[in-house]
Amino acid sequence: MAGLATGYPMPQARGGNPDTSTLYDINGLAKDAPGWLDHTMEFIGEYGIVLGLAVLMVLAWWSLRRRQDAPAAVAALLWAPLAAGLALLVNIPIRGFVKRPRPFVDHTGLEVLVKGKTDYSFVSDHATLTMAIGVALFVANRKYGLIGIGLAFLEGFCRVYMGVHYPTDVVGGLALGTAVALLLAPLAMMVLTPLTRAVARTRFARLVRAERAVAGPPLVAAEASAAAGTAEADRGVPRHRDNDLAA
């Protein structure tokens, strides 16, 4: 089986810390799993979920550009990768300040599925990135957003399963990604919505609007930002319709 699994008996290594105890409980699943499953979890946790989110964003773009308020919806979608990148930048000083070593540095008996991790552990970059994308997708569309958030939670589980993060590293990453994506969404929409509407008036309009748009509920987050720069009355969108979109 892949990984490093040497050291003291498990109960002695766990101690009384719930964070460490949960780490051993989840990572212990890797010890009992067949090698093919560990390799699968390694791929999913390192690359698979990030690739899955990229595919999800393409599907969301294809769907949202067919809506009546397509430029605003696509603007919200553009915020997803930007939020992820910004959240990772915010994490740089956090990791440098906390300086928490990877769990396998301080604890023995772990099944480490990915070797060569020498950077600090808190907070998890993978959890931060995936949750920022998931929450930003939720701002654009609830259906795609819920899928994205579910993938982010799966990413967090994989990081602990692989023995490269503590559970609190993952929780911190999920919280950081959520905070960046939600708190900065109104400002991002104020900047991105006029940009996508300008593109909709050019020969590249199909990037933000399908040839035949279909009626759909408006983007609530886009409405909030549009109120700062563009009158809703010009679009004829009722303010109370938010059936399938996130606030």
Show the DSSP H helices in the chain as ranges: 10-14, 18-32, 35-43, 49-64, 70-98, 103-106, 125-140, 142-161, 167-183, 185-199, 220-229
- Two tokens at 55? 């595919």
Q: Pick from 194, 246, 190, 240: which is nearest to 64 by CA?
A: 246
pLDDT at 69: 84
Mean pLDDT of 29-53: 91
What span, in angstroms and rounded, lies between the C-alpha atoms of 134 and 11?
A: 36
| Cα-Cα-Cα-Cα dihedral sign, residues 62, 220, 76, 131 | negative
At 16, the pLDDT band (50, 70, 90 cuts) reads low
Summarize pLDDT for 127-173 with one digit per residue, the tens: 999 999 999 999 999 999 999 999 999 999 999 999 999 999 999 99
At 212, the pLDDT band (50, 70, 90 cuts) reads low
The DSSP 8-state label assigned to residue 45 in this structure reads I
Summarize pLDDT for 108-123 with one digit per residue, the tens: 888 888 887 888 999 9
One-letter amino acid for residue 219 of the chain: L
pLDDT at 177: 96
Mean pLDDT of 13-39: 83
Least confident of 38-42, 88-92, 145-149: 38-42
